[in-house]
Amino acid sequence: METTGENLFQVKKERSYISCLVNGCSYGFRHLGLLFRYIWPGLLLTAVFPLPFVFLFAAQNDAVLRKWTELGYLPRMTVKSMRSEIGQCANRSAISVLIDISMLCFVIAGFSLFAMSVFYGISYWWGIIVLLSAFFLFIPLNVVEMQISFSNLPIVECFSSGYGIAFRNYGKLFAFSFLYELLGGLIAALGTIPFQVLLAAGMQGYMGWKMGDGWNLPLLFPLYFLLAVWIMYVVILTVSLVFSFSRCLMWGSLVNEVPAQAEADR
């Protein structure tokens, strides 16, 4: 399904966090075919080679959301027609990805400290402190990422304005982020089912082999496992693509440039 100028969607408008989440996901899902025709290079390359092609995927994603914000609808898009927009988003999208990676490192460090508390006797409070720090940093940095991805402000100003917006709307952002991560994680988890099944089978086969049993897994098992990993990545990236419309609506709600209106049911 494609939208036209006759079916405009106002992105910069005051909305509740529920409305941002529902309307954004609904819009992204309805236009998934159009999005796939445009973003398939970044999607496939990122699924096969996460680095460095995740930067291409992020730039393509930001470019289409900027176009949506500007026009109020999604035009017919191809990689060639959007080349200039992707180039304009590349540097800013790369900064957003690096912020995500830094936050992921915080989370991994927190869980690693928890594991070390079990095996090496280190106080588990260190893990709690790191995870709580990551949690409290996540919400303001999420707004900073929105400013970098969707606005034309200088990068330094994106940090200052992003933190200001975040602390003025912390409750709304907390509720949105919680539901965003919960629903997105639950849906993305469906794509991990083949991976989990094959991982469990591989571990069982390995344990049996260590105990002296024969290796009874199919000869092509490694290829099946790689396919399951690829499916998992594609599903996660697709979910992030669809849910990114909700993030864009939340940003539009926070920095709306039109008078507050009664929320329309869409």
pLDDT tens by residue, 34-50: 999 899 888 888 888 88
Structural tokens at position 126: 């260190």
Pick the range with the lowest mean pLDDT from 112-116, 138-142, 248-252. Answer: 112-116
Q: Which tens digits make up the pLDDT trace of 150-165?
A: 988 899 999 988 888 9
CA end-to-end distance (rounded Å), the chain:
16
- Report helix, strand or coil for 76: coil
CA separation for the pair 179, 167 (Å, rounded): 19
Residues with Cβ within 8 Å of 113's Cβ and at least 6 positions away in sequence, in order, are 122, 124, 126, 127, 130
Token duo for residue 100 = 């995500």
Over residues 93-137, the pLDDT tens digits come to 999 999 888 877 777 777 777 666 666 666 667 667 777 777 777
pTM of the full structure: 0.82
* pLDDT score at 101: 85
70 has a pLDDT exceeding 80:
yes
